[in-house]
Amino acid sequence: MGSVAAVVVTYNRKQLLARCLEAIRAQSRPSDRVFIVDNASSDGTAEHLAAAGLLDDSIEYIRLPANSGSAGGFHEGMRRAYEAGYEWLWLMDDDGCPAPDCLENLLSRQNELDVIGPAVVRPDDPARLTWKLRSVHRGGRFRTWTSIASLQELSRLAPDGVYEGVAALFNGVLIRRTVPEAIGFVLADLFIWGDENEYMMRCKAACFRVGVCVHAVHYHPYVRPRHSSRWKFYYLYRNTMYIHWRYGRIQLPALLRPWYPAYISLRMLSELPSLSPLYVLTVLRGARRALKGKLVAYG
C-alpha cells in the first residue's frame, strides 16, 4: 500500500499538537513515521511532548531556528519526508485531528488520485465543512462564484465517494511523492496565507489528480480570519495577487481575469489595519511586485 509519513507543523500550541499526535497514533492504519516541524515555539513544546510520552522512535522532531510561517514549515516537513523515501506525505497543522479511519480511507483512493484530501469538518458541527470547497466542472475547471458548504452536499455531488478537482490542502491531505518530485515543495517565500491554495493550483497546473475522499474525515475548527496585524494583512494581500498572477487561467474564466486584481483590492483594502502612508505604500508595492511574479518580504 506504500509507506506514509505524517508531517505536522506547529507553533506555540503544545496542547493542540499533543491532541493531534494522539489522533495520528490512534489511526486504524498507522503512519510509518511522524515528522513534527516546530516553527521555533516559545511555549515549551518539546518538553510538553516529552512529558506526555509523545516523543519516541516513530517521531522525528525538527525545531527550526526561526518562525518560517506555515509555508516554511510545510516546505521543510515535505522535504524531510520526501528525502527519507516515503511514498505518501500526510500533511496537517497542529489544531486539526484526523478521525480514526481517516488515513485508511484516504489510502483506499490511491489508485484514483495523487492528491487526496479528506472532508474537513467543524468539530462542533460535523455536518458543516470548515471551509467551503470551490465547486468544480466535470472537466476540472472551477465554477465561478459557487462553492460547497456541507458534508451532505459534498456527498451528493460525489456518489462514488470522490469529488475530483479540488481539496483543502494541509488539513490531513495525502500527497503522492511523485507530486513534489515533479513540482517541488511548498513555496516557503509565501510565509503565511495562501500557501495551500498555491500548492493545489500548482498540482492542477501539472495535471495531477486532485480530489476529496468524502469518507475520510478530518476535524478542524473554523477560525474567522483576522487581519488586524500589519504584517499578516501584507502577506494575505500580496499572496492573493501572486496566486492570481501564476494561476489566474485556472481560477477564473478569461472574461473575469483582467478585473480580478481591482475587485479583490476593493474588497481587501477596506480592511487595511493602518492608513499610515508608508504602510499603504508598502502594501501596494508588495502587491504590484507580486503581480509581476516577485515575492518581497514584509519589513
174 plus 239 within the same structural domain:
no
- Which residues pair with residue 164 across a beta bridge? 211
Whether residues 149 and 246 share a domain: the answer is no
pLDDT in tens, 5-42: 999 999 999 999 999 999 999 999 999 999 999 999 99
- pLDDT: which is higher, 210 or 299: 210
Say if CB 174 and CB 106 are below 8 A apart.
yes
Tell me, yes or no, whether 176 lies in a domain.
yes
C-alpha cell at 254: 478569461
pLDDT value of residue 1: 67
212 and 178 within one domain? yes
pLDDT tens, residue by residue, 103-119: 999 999 999 999 999 99
Q: Containing H/E element for 235?
A: helix 230-251
Assess whether 110 and 251 both reside in one domain: no
Distances (CA, A) of 298 to 33, 119, 191, 261, 271: 35, 34, 10, 20, 18
Please count the helices (runs of H) and the strands (runs of E) in the chain: 10, 11
Residue 42 lies in a domain: yes
pTM here is 0.94
Rounded to whole angstroms, the Cα distance separating 226 from 288 reads: 23
Query: Does residue 221 come out as left (phi exceeding 0), alpha (psi in the -120 to 50 range) or beta?
Result: beta
